[in-house]
Chains A and B, each alone.
Chain A
Amino acid sequence: MVIEVRNVDKNFDTFKALNNLNLKIERGELVALLGPSGSGKTTLLRIISGLEFASAGSIFFDGQDAGTRHVGERRVGFVFQHYALFRHMTVFENVAFGLRVVPRARRLSNTDIKKRVLSLLSLVQLDRLSERYPTQLSGGQRQRVALARALAIEPLVLLLDEPFGALDAKVRKELRRWLRRLHDEMGLTSIFVTHDQEEALELADRVVVMNKGKIEQIGTPEEVYDQPATPFVYEFLGNVNRIDCTINDGKVHLWGVQVIAETQDGGKCPSGTVPGFAYIRPHDIDFVEKGTEHAVPAIVRHVAAAGPTARIEIQIEGIPNFIEADLSRKRYLELGYKIGQNVFVSARAARVFPASAAE
């Protein structure tokens, strides 16, 4: 199913939850709506599902306006953040619900319902728990019941609201992989909401980064991570150092030396000398020999070396804020930095915005 969101607005009283949103999702895509709380991502998901209606604009399913269609008629499987399992029903009855409420003329026979439910339960590996009640299940099991229940109505679109939010890290990873496989095997079009950038980058074909009711950027995980379109995306995706600098006719001066940096929309950059700020990823900070071009002196302030990369906090002379730098474990062991040591650093790559671009 191709899903198109056209010029959608959503107002709650005076609060603008969504502001003129446009988005097209292709058949078979797995898309993440990523943003902080209050960015409107859940509202957008609910509007696509039909649980909520847009104040203006429309939603198209395969080119047809879905605006008049009620949630029950859209063939969407919705997985709720807290699962919303029917607490008085067994796992079996939860999954069977969507099949039992079909008008009698189109309803499957009891034997067929049973067959379908059991095959779904085995798909989510819960066949042994079919007679349990939701309260007797773990979080991960509940999540899988919620998925099986949503899949029972053979949806064309699967919508998931913070699907892994309430689970612990290990279960979350397993379910993520499992969901990806399920999505591919069933040929669904899926959208999930998350505030966890790692989850979005790992799982999704495309990531929609949202902030304050607007879309900041749409792109593949590599695109949004490597080429963030706005300062917001930079700060929201991954760790980043934000450093004040000056821009002089397109040339960037950082820590008192001129660096090679890509300025955002060079053409739009005001002429003359203007203040700006640069984003440098921790892994783009290079430790170099004294006297290397663009190198500046710094002091090691903190070292956290557990794990595959070592994180070193350094302080550039005369700048109060610490800067984070990542080193591979191998390189860290070679260099053997200690707290208080004097080092020289340079920025391998930086992205610079004029101060006027800040929100």
Chain B
Amino acid sequence: MRLRINPITETPAVKFTLLGIGLLYIALFLVLPVVAVFNEALRKGFGAYFVAISDPIALSAIKLTFITAAIAVPANLIFGVAASWAVAKFDFRGKSFLITLIDLPFSVSPVVSGLVYVLLFGAQGLVGPWLQAHDIQIVFAVPGIVLATIFVTFPFVARELIPLMQEQGTEEEEAARSLGADGWQTFFRVTLPNIKWGLLYGVLLCNARAMGEFGAVSVVSGKIRGLTNTMPLHVEILYNEYNMVAAFAVASLLASLALVTLVAKGLLEWRYGHELGVART
């Protein structure tokens, strides 16, 4: 009965080969490095691991990373929603230009982004002298790190939401308006519930990048230990000092944060999978 075979089904041999290649690839390039990080971090036992991550300098790097993410992520969340709302629901001049601008941080090397801030706010920069006169420190301080992080993670939320909102169109919003809802009611009761999964995904990506950003932050940070070092920068310094256990211990923390994020996303999808299905169709 050869005719009964589904025309797009492959033979078992082909299926297993494809699956095998996929799994091998994931193991080699994703699982192995993560395992290596944890393995290296725990090479001298848990004691050394905890000493490394409870070091005051390490703790200050962790704190700074959290502060940076805590400012950059909400900032880009608000901007991302506003920008996608504007792009997806309205027609205006310069719309495609705005979309291009939103993509800019993806196309520019992070190092260049960092340098731009130094050029703007540094001692020899455009507004540097004015800032100095008013005793405001941006570059080589926390504000610079936050600014550079915001710039680099700028597109994540908007990129995630624009196609989603464009696909959803404006009919539901119009329906809400015709039923008497005002602008905010329409946004909170209709638009936001429709985009919440895309938004969550964008925020998770944005957060992961905000915590992990190296290039741009490394240019503006000045790498003052205990003051302007974020976790990725701290890892690099420890590594350059051949302090492998400490370097990998902090690196494993970063990796854990990423894993926690993924697990959180998985849990949410599992818990609200039904609504997710509804929202996606």
Contacts and interface: CB of A to CB of B under 8 A. Distances in A.
Nearest to A93: B189
A60 interface: no
Interface stretch (B112-120, B180-188, B261-269): B180-188
Interface string A97-115: 1100110000000000000
Contacts of A78: 174-175, 178
A84 interface: yes
Contacts of B180: 72-73, 98, 101-102, 153
A86 B175 CA distance: 9
A78 B176 CA distance: 10
Nearest to B168: A87
Contact of A84 (B174, B181, B193, B279): B174
Contact of A51 (B178, B182, B190, B281): B178
Contact of B174 (A80, A102, A135, A153): A80
Contact of B179 (A50, A87, A101, A133): A101
Contact of A135 (B189, B190, B193, B278): B278
Given A88-B275, A97-B176, 14 more contacts: A50-B178, A51-B177, A70-B177, A71-B174, A78-B175, A78-B178, A84-B174, A87-B278, A98-B179, A101-B176, A101-B182, A149-B175, A150-B179, A153-B179
- Which secondary structure dominates where chain B touches chain A? helix
Nearest to B190: A86
28 contacts: A49-B178, A50-B178, A51-B174, A71-B178, A72-B177, A72-B181, A72-B182, A73-B180, A78-B175, A78-B178, A80-B175, A84-B171, A85-B172, A85-B175, A86-B175, A86-B190, A87-B194, A87-B278, A88-B275, A88-B279, A89-B193, A97-B181, A101-B176, A101-B182, A101-B189, A150-B178, A152-B179, A153-B180
Contacts of A89: 193
Nearest to B192: A88
A152 B176 CA distance: 13
A78 B278 CA distance: 24
A135 to B, nearest CB: 5
A39 B29 CA distance: 58
Contacts, number: 72
Interface string B188-231: 01100110000000000000000000000000000000000000
A133 B178 CA distance: 21
Nearest to A149: B179
Given A72-B181, A133-B278, A84 B194 contact: no
A88 B174 CA distance: 16
Interface in B222-281: 275, 278-279, 281
Contact of B178 (A72, A85, A86, A87): A72
B275 to A, nearest CB: 7
Contacts of A86: 172, 175-176, 189-190, 193
B189 A84 contact: no
A49 to B, nearest CB: 6
A37 to B, nearest CB: 18
A329 interface: no
A209 to B, nearest CB: 26
Interface string A202-227: 00000000000000000000000000
Nearest to B281: A135
B197 to A, nearest CB: 10
A310 B193 CA distance: 55
B179 A88 contact: no
B45 to A, nearest CB: 50
Contact of B175 (A70, A73, A84): A84
Contacts of A97: 176, 179, 181, 189
A75 B176 CA distance: 13
Q: Which 5 A-B pairs have the closest CB atoms?
A: A98-B179, A84-B171, A101-B181, A84-B175, A72-B180
Nearest to A89: B193
Given A101-B185, A101-B189, A88 B178 contact: no
A247 interface: no
A82 interface: yes
Nearest to A146: B175
